[in-house]
């Protein structure tokens, strides 16, 4: 005899059993529809300042759920800060910016679908954002097909502006080859000749690994081994416990949650004491530091942005950006972290788009060619729009070059030990636009 759970008294005695009537469903549906309708009648915040001016619709895709949600949420703060500031100060060409936000769940296939929705349903004028390199790469053909300018906010994969470059995609911050050009001489000359690279085994980590292998060799050193660790690995001990041998330094390329895991577990296994411990600055991002604690002491990294007021970062522009970012981050994170490079690059990326729109008289998607022409070769100076410093977008591959900071972690804080000017980070262009 099959069991009939629903017939048992304790299963039928529950308060909601048998009470879901058609009348009740219709009533609740009507109430929900009324509430939704009421929210549609409330004007968006920019309406009071701009009257009937048609907004620029800028789409931004970020991973707001899934393994990289933490990074996506902070990256979005940078974009939102820039948009709020633009709208507060009169908009662009007298028009406000309406930000359309999409969550791609840390998945390339979802990213691609959301990009297509942006194009066909939301009818965006341009896109700014992106976080995971594999998602940026998956979406680039969509922007190209529909002739939409794509201003990247975080993605670091080298091929975005080299072998897979697109006329419609711009990267207004650094990339792995430029970082390696800036950092490799310091690694080889000050820390050691022989290196082992541990990296996040997907587009970002693999790009950085290739760039550092080439530049460490060029600087007179050698990479003797590599360990790729899949994205989102909760326990990296099986990987890290295989790292042994005769080399001077362990170089890490990890971001977000994986950076916390590798920093913690490499310390626990004694690797950071046995070898010099260096790597991409994303390991020691300010948002990771509370979780890593003192285990990051002595780490030497390279980053385009640091939340400190030392050397060239001790400017009024940076202080204003920092204060505003801390207040904005506090709204999404009760621990109140300081801004990281994801906030900075999204903030500046949106400001690049603003300048391009101003300069080109861009009205909408049909003017993408004019916007591209305005952005190519665009030089910007250190300012409230660009608190990180001067930068320019190279015409040949739409890649920017910016100054880099080499830092050491001491007392739980970043200490700048060398500033590499942007002229010394230049890497030859390797892009042929279709």
Partner 1 sequence: MAIPFDQILIQTVNGLVNGMILALVASGLTLIFGIMDVVNFAHGDLVMLGAFVGATTIAATGSFWLAFLVAALVIAVFGAALQASTLRPLLGRDPLTTILATFGISLVLQKYALWQWGPSARKIQEPITGQFAMFYLEYPWYRVATAFFAGAIIGAFWLFLKYGRYGIWIRATMQDRIMASAMGIPVPLVHTAVFAIGAAMAAASGVLFGPLGGVTQTMGFDFTLRAFIVVVVGGMGNLGGSILAAIFISLLEAYASIIVSPSQAVIVSFMALILTLLFRPTGLFVPTPSSSGACWRCRRTS
* Bridging pattern class, strands 300-303 and 404-410: antiparallel
Give the CA distances from residue 418 to residues 138, 165, 214, 344, in Å, rounded to whole numbers and listed in that order. Answer: 36, 31, 22, 20
Contact 117, 79 (CB under 8 A): no
User: Measured from the CB atom, is 141 or 228 closer to partner 1?
Assistant: 228
The residues pairing with 195 across neighbouring beta strands, listed in sequence order, are: 223, 249
Q: How far apart are CA 71 and CA 73, in angstroms?
A: 5
Q: How far apart are CA 390 and CA 425, in angstroms?
A: 13
CB of 101 to partner 1, least distance (A): 15
User: Measured from the CB atom, is 71 or 389 closer to partner 1?
Assistant: 71
Q: Which H or E run contains 419?
A: strand 413-420
CB of 274 to partner 1, least distance (A): 8
User: Measured from the CB atom, is 194 or 370 closer to partner 1?
Assistant: 194
Assigned token pair, 45: 């915040």
CB of 196 to partner 1, least distance (A): 13
CB of 360 to partner 1, least distance (A): 35
Contact 199, 209 (CB under 8 A): yes
Chain mean position to CA 92: 24
Contact 317, 306 (CB under 8 A): no
Q: How far apart are CA 314 and CA 317, in angstroms?
A: 9
CB of 4 to partner 1, least distance (A): 7
User: Measured from the CB atom, is 73 or 127 closer to partner 1?
Assistant: 73
CB of 346 to partner 1, least distance (A): 14
CB of 76 to partner 1, least distance (A): 10
The residues pairing with 253 across neighbouring beta strands, listed in sequence order, are: 199
User: Measured from the CB atom, is 34 or 245 closer to partner 1?
Assistant: 245
Contact 216, 179 (CB under 8 A): no
Question: Which runs of E-coded beta strand occur in 212-326?
Answer: 222-229, 249-253, 276-280, 300-303
Neighbours of 239 (CB within 10 A): 17
CB of 138 to partner 1, least distance (A): 20
Residue with tokens 């262009």: 429
The residues pairing with 95 across neighbouring beta strands, listed in sequence order, are: 92
Contact 315, 387 (CB under 8 A): yes
CB of 65 to partner 1, least distance (A): 7
CB of 8 to partner 1, least distance (A): 8
Contact residues: partner 1, CB under 8 A:
1-6, 8, 10-11, 14, 16-17, 65-67, 69-74, 201, 228-230, 232-239, 241-242, 244, 257, 260-261, 264-265, 268-271, 273-274, 287-288, 290-293, 332-335, 337
Q: Which of 296, 343, 428 is nearest to 79 (CA)?
A: 343
Count CA within 13 A, CB hemisphere, residue 249: 26
User: Measured from the CB atom, is 253 or 393 closer to partner 1?
Assistant: 253
């Amino acid at each position: 005899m099959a069991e009939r759970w629903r017939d048992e008294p304790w299963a039928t005695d529950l308060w909601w059993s048998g009470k879901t009537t058609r009348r009740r469903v219709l009533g609740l549906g009507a109430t929900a529809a009324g509430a939704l309708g009421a929210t549609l009648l409330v004007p968006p915040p920019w309406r009071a300042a701009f009257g009937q001016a048609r907004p620029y619709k800028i789409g931004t895709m970020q991973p707001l759920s899934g393994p990289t949600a933490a990074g996506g949420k902070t990256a979005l703060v940078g974009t939102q800060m820039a948009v709020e500031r633009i709208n507060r100060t009169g908009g662009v060409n007298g028009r406000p910016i309406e930000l359309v936000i999409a969550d791609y769940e840390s998945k390339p296939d979802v990213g691609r679908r959301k990009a297509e929705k942006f194009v066909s349903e939301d009818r965006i004028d341009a896109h700014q954002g992106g976080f995971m390199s594999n998602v940026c790469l998956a979406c680039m053909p969509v922007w190209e097909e529909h002739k939409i300018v794509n201003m990247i906010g975080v993605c670091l994969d080298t091929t975005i502006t080299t072998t897979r470059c697109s006329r419609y995609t711009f990267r207004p911050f650094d990339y792995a080859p430029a970082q390696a050009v800036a950092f490799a001489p310091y690694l080889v000359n000050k820390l050691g000749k022989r290196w082992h690279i541990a990296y996040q085994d997907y587009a970002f980590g693999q790009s950085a690994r290739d760039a550092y292998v080439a530049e460490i060799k060029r600087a007179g050193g050698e990479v003797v081994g590599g360990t790729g660790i899949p994205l989102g690995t909760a326990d990296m001990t099986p990987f890290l416990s295989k790292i042994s041998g005769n080399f001077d330094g362990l170089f890490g390329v990890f971001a977000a949650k994986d950076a916390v895991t590798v920093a913690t577990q490499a310390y626990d296994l004694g690797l950071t004491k046995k070898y010099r411990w260096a790597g991409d600055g994303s390991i020691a991002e300010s948002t990771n530091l509370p979780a890593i604690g003192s285990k990051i002491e002595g780490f030497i990294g390279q980053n385009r942005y640091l939340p400190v007021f030392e050397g060239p970062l001790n400017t009024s522009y940076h202080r204003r950006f920092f204060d505003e970012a801390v207040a904005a981050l506090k709204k999404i994170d009760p621990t109140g972290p300081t801004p990281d490079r994801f906030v900075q690059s999204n903030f500046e990326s949106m400001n690049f788009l603003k300048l391009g729109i101003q300069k080109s008289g861009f009205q909408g998607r049909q003017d993408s060619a004019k916007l591209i022409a305005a952005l190519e070769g665009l030089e910007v100076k250190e300012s409230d729009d660009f608190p990180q410093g001067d930068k320019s977008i190279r015409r040949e591959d739409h890649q920017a070059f910016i100054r880099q900071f080499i830092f050491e972690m001491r007392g739980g804080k970043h200490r700048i030990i060398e500033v590499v000017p942007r002229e010394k980070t230049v890497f030859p262009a390797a892009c042929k636009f279709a």
